[in-house]
Amino acid sequence: MDIESFELKVVDIVDETTEARSISFEVPEGAAEKFAYKPGQFLTLAVPSDQTGIAARCYSLSSSPHDGGPLTVTVKRTAEGYASNWVCDNLSVGDTMRVLPPSGIFTPADINADLLLFAGGSGVTPIMSITRTALADGKGRIVLFYANRDEGSVIFAEELTRLSAENPDRLQVIHWLESVQGLPTPEQVKAFASQYLDHDAFVCGPAPYMKLVTTALKELEFPRERRHQEKFVSLGGNPFGDLAQAEAAEAEMALADADEDSAAADVFADLPAGPVKVEVELDGTDYTFDDWDPRTRLLEFLESKGVPAPYSCREGECSACAIRLLEGEVRMLNNDVLDADDLADGIRLGCQSLPTTDTVRVTYS
């Protein structure tokens, strides 16, 4: 079962900096419910590729669901990034792109909470969506620590200045420029974050920046439930169209072959002998099944039952299918995105999960 993709029309393009553009899409008639989103989520775009046909890439939404405006992603060029350069060089108003509905768990559980936001470079994209929404719909205080190479690299500079002026009691933006202050040090980040230990922290940006900030927050003993980090990798799979079906079939055949091959049989070692009971909470609806085959991944099983479980890459390379364990345990066949803290917090990837206990209870919230 493939996730449904849609052809979205480009209705606006804004040059945010010399290296970053915001691309706005019009949602097709009848698809508004599919494209309802939470601040901090992302879209998966089908970028044309001469080598692979399609390069599936995830780009965070910078727009806010509050104002009813068009879906907008902000894309920054990377030196060797084929997809980001293609988007910035080739898309024009009036063009269409194949897009998957919004996904992701990098979003506040409580929009009224006080927020401590860390952004590095284009990592400001989901942070901007969260900021816009929290100011409009929430009541909490927002502190944004935004690191960039230089003044010309600051995406949304004018809007952040305007939002700060309009909300002086609620929004504080601290710009950190490498050209002026050098790279932030762990001691500097800790000293800054120590003023906001009661806030919910969100971190997005280049890997070294996220590691620096996350380490500082850990050392300050920020509780795991109030510390959030966005992670993206280039998707190896293709969740669009017939190719995705072929890849899913190949994966199922590989699992079947592994069952017959003694060297690969460890994939299924220690799984329950019979069907497993699974309880799933998704978008306020509870589902209960007592016939989950332990050799079938959770996502595939839920799809066979008609449950609209979210996913994007199907390869364990993004967080679109993330679940949180409430009871029982699963084994993931692949995981390129969750770290040790995520795993300790009970987060797993539904597209890669096989049950290792007779009962499993999970939530997608």
Q: Is the pLDDT of residue 258 over 80?
A: no
Report the pLDDT averaged over residues 335-364: 89
- pLDDT tens for 290-334 read 999 999 999 999 999 999 888 777 777 777 788 999 999 999 998
* Long-range contacts from 50-56, C-beta under 8 angstroms, 24+ separation: 52/238, 53/238, 53/243, 54/98, 54/238, 54/240, 54/241, 54/243, 55/82, 55/83, 55/86, 56/235, 56/237, 56/238, 56/239, 56/240, 56/312, 56/313
Find out whether 202 and 60 touch, Cβ atoms under 8 Å.
no
Query: What does pLDDT average to over the chain?
Result: 87
Quote the percentage of the chain above a pLDDT of 90: 65
Model confidence over 199-226: pLDDT tens digits? 999 999 988 999 999 999 999 999 888 9
How far does CA 103 lie from the centroid of its chain?
6
What is the per-residue pLDDT for 235? 53
* 297-327: burial string, b at 16+ Cβ within 10 Å, e else: bbbbbbbeeebebbbbbbbbbbbbbbbbbee
Say whether 90 sits in a helix, a strand or coil.
helix
Whole-number Å distance between alpha carbons of 267 and 295: 9
CATH number of the structural domain 241-363: 3.10.20.30
Q: What is the pLDDT of residue 239?
A: 65
Q: What is the pLDDT of residues 263-293, one digit of tens each?
A: 345 667 788 988 999 999 988 899 999 999 9
pLDDT per residue as tens digits for the range 133-166: 999 999 999 999 999 999 999 999 999 999 999 9
Q: What is the dihedral angle through the alpha carbons of 322, 297, 2, 342, rounded to the nearest 10 degrees?
A: 10
132/115 Cα distance (integer angstroms): 12
The pLDDT, as a whole number, for residue 315 is: 76
d(C-alpha 239, C-alpha 54), whole Å: 10
pTM of the model: 0.77
> What pLDDT shows up at residue 81?
81
**Segment 69-91, tens digit of pLDDT:** 899 999 999 887 888 999 999 99
What pLDDT is stored for residue 53 in this prediction?
74
The domain spans of the chain are 6-103, 115-229, 241-363
Is the domain spanning 115-229 CATH 3.40.50.80? The answer is yes
CATH classification for the domain delimited by 6-103, as one of 2.40.30.10, 3.40.30.10, 3.40.120.10, 3.20.20.70:
2.40.30.10
